[in-house]
């Protein structure tokens, strides 16, 4: 289970994520201001991360509550 979790984290956050759509990128870069294009790209990536973090936190809380309420099985 732990290996699966680490694998999902690694593939969820690629190092060079490009979040802009083609139209937004073309409009921003045509103005010649690459700093604005980079800022827009970082903002989109930043806003995109929170739904995944929120979903992961909810799944973790559900998992923790089900494990806490599960009856313990005694070994022989």
What is the domain partition of the chain in residue ranges? 19-69
pLDDT tens profile 17-69: 555 567 777 777 787 777 877 788 788 888 888 899 999 999 999 999 998 87
pLDDT of residue 15 exceeding 60: no
- The pTM of the full predicted model, rounded to 2 decimals, is 0.49
pLDDT of residue 76 exceeding 60: no
Helix axes 34-69, 22-30, angle to 10 degrees: 150
* pLDDT value, residue 60: 94
Comparing C-alpha atoms, which of 9, 15, 17 is closest to residue 47?
17
């Amino acid at each position: 289970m732990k290996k699966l979790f680490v694998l999902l984290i690694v593939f969820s956050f690629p190092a060079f994520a490009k979040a802009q759509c083609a139209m937004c990128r073309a409009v921003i870069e045509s103005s010649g201001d690459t700093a604005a294009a980079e800022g827009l790209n970082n903002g989109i990536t930043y806003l995109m991360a929170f739904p995944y973090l929120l979903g992961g936190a909810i799944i973790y809380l559900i998992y923790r509550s089900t494990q806490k309420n599960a009856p313990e099985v005694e070994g022989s």
